[in-house]
Amino acid sequence: MQAYSTTSVRALILATLVFAANFSVWTLYAALTEPLQQSLGLSLTELGILLSAPMLTGALLRVPAGIWVQKYSAKSLLLWQMLLLIPPLLLLPQAKTFEHYLLLGLWLGVAGSAFTLGIKYVADFFPSNQQGTALGLFGAGNAGAAINLILLPILDERWHWQLTGWIYTAGILLTCLLFWLLGPRQPIIPSATARTDNGFFPLLGQLRIWRLGLYYYFVFGSFLALLMWLPHYYVHAYDLSIKQAMAFTLLFVAGSSLVRSVGGWFADRYGGRVVSWSVFWICLVCLFFLSYPPTTMTIHGTSKDVTLHIGINIWWFTALLFVMGIAQGFGRASVYKLVNDYYPQQMGTAGGLIGAMGALGGCTLPILFGFLVDWTGFYSVTFMLLYGVSAACMIAMYLAIQTERLQQRWQYEREHNFLDQD
């Protein structure tokens, strides 16, 4: 099939629309942090658990989704997956307790599997040398989270935020109908060149899978955790209104999501490893400054004391966060370029497994954020945690590069009989 044909472009556009709709449902609780905390009287740790509920099931379901999509039609699976979201959305206005929202959040996590199904659907329409760009464009569906940040404040002001369930149900049904009617069928791959999959369990024994999973845990998992956590952070760390907090969070989410397609192009042109290494460096520098807590220091001089107030104001904070979000958008595309480079015949299974590891960041990090803030009493500790994760990614990539160079040198010496000399 020719690249960028009408069919492939139509498949990409519709798949991105489907992913954006699912992503908005998956991250719905991010826009409800303040109403839920106020109505339920939650601690920060409990709030983190509630935010993590959809992330948990979304992460776990990416693994079986990756296996199923290698065997069955990705389009059919996406349609069924969207239909499964309708019951919890309809039940959302009836929820009254923490346990109700927790159970519904776990059910809404079904939306998180859409990415794994979608990357297999899109990848089948594009050749390998264009999949970085195509998957980057598809990944821009992360901007679906912006729907929540725009729509929820309007609903809360004019009507009531509990109408969200009904409105999102209508949106999912409309998206499902459009994809069913207009989404092209995946191309049939001839049996002689069909992609094969050796299964899920052999991949778990490969160190490379865990390394790529760690990268995605940072570039995607921390992105998920931050978009869930930032509205609360802005309200309580900078004394903003919920509308202002949503606007600042929207800047981070939109910027990070929309550049993913550009990141895919860079990964195709310069290589996934080069782009990923640059991303980790940029994030490490940003997180160094974001981690610094507001500090008051007194210097005892000879004649008087001098008091210094050190901290990052809201504008510098937002600017650093925006730069880090842009870098993470590039990183999400470059990591999946690496996945496609290493596992071209196992894109569904390997992509699903790495996607699950990344989504677990959206599950575990909000809980850790809440616990650490409850424990230490200051908010910038969340960025200290992310600094550690970013540093671990850089160490893992550095060791991988050194190991690969050593193996290449070993192979060169064997081929030239240097090792056979006395």
Q: What percent of the chain has pLDDT over 70?
A: 90
Number of Cβ atoms within 10 Å of the Cβ of 87: 12
Q: Is residue 399 part of a domain?
A: yes
Number of Cβ atoms within 10 Å of the Cβ of 171: 16
Give the global pTM: 0.76
User: Cα(133)–Cα(189) distance, rounded to whole angstroms?
Assistant: 21
Q: Pick the closest to residue 22 from 145, 163, 186 (CA basis).
A: 145
Do residues 172 and 85 lie in contact, with contact meaning Cβ atoms separated by under 8 Å? yes
| C-alpha of 139 from chain center | 9
pLDDT tens for 155-200 read 666 656 667 788 889 999 999 999 999 888 877 554 333 445 556 6
Q: Is residue 370 part of a domain?
A: yes
pLDDT band at 282 (very low <50, low <70, confident <90, very high): very high
> Into how many domains does the chain fold?
1
Supply the range of the domain harboring residue 136: 6-187+194-420
pLDDT tens for 292-341 read 877 777 777 777 877 777 778 899 999 999 999 999 989 988 888 888 77
The two most distant CA atoms of the chain are separated, in Å, by: 86
Q: Is residue 1 part of a domain?
A: no
Q: Is residue 90 part of a domain?
A: yes
Number of Cβ atoms within 10 Å of the Cβ of 113: 31
pLDDT band at 1 (very low <50, low <70, confident <90, very high): very low
Q: Pick the closest to residue 108 from 56, 44, 161 (CA basis).
A: 56
Q: Pick the closest to residue 338 from 131, 72, 71, 78 (CA basis).
A: 131
Close Cβ partners of 296 (under 8 Å, ≥ 6 residues apart): 307, 308, 309, 310
Instruction: Find the mean pLDDT for residues 206-219.
Output: 90
| C-alpha of 170 from chain center | 25
Do residues 366 and 48 lie in contact, with contact meaning Cβ atoms separated by under 8 Å? yes
Q: Please report the pLDDT score of residue 192 as a whole number.
A: 37
- Cα-Cα-Cα-Cα dihedral sign, residues 261, 398, 208, 385: negative
Residue bearing tokens 């998206």: 175
Instruction: Find the mean pLDDT for residues 131-156.
Output: 76
Residue 159 CA: distances (Å) to CA of 29, 31, 169, 353: 18, 16, 17, 41
DSSP assignment string, 332-393: HHHHHHHHHHH-TT-HHHHHHHHHHHHHHHHHHHHHHHHHHHHHHS-TTHHHHHHHHHHHHH
User: Cα(233)–Cα(47) distance, rounded to whole angstroms?
Assistant: 12
pLDDT tens for 93-117 read 888 888 999 999 999 999 988 888 8
pLDDT tens for 26-71 read 888 877 777 777 778 888 888 888 888 888 898 888 888 877 887 8
User: Cα(216)–Cα(414) distance, rounded to whole angstroms?
Assistant: 35
Task: Judge whether residue 204 has pLDDT over 50.
Answer: yes
Residue 346 CA: distances (Å) to CA of 116, 136, 221, 349: 12, 18, 22, 5
Q: Is residue 69 part of a domain?
A: yes
Q: Pick the closest to residue 117 from 409, 299, 356 (CA basis).
A: 356
CATH number assigned to the domain comprising residue 374? 1.20.1250.20
Q: Pick the closest to residue 229 from 87, 111, 379, 354 (CA basis).
A: 379
Range of lowest pLDDT (72-76, 144-148, 280-284) = 144-148
Helix (H) and strand (E) counts for the chain? Answer: 19, 2
| Host H or E run for residue 305 | strand 305-310
HSE, side-chain direction, 13 A CA sphere, residue 121: 31
pLDDT tens for 399-412 read 988 887 887 777 76
| Degrees to nearest 5, angle at CA 223 with 139 and 9 | 5
| C-alpha of 327 from chain center | 13
Q: Please report the pLDDT score of residue 166 as a whole number.
A: 87
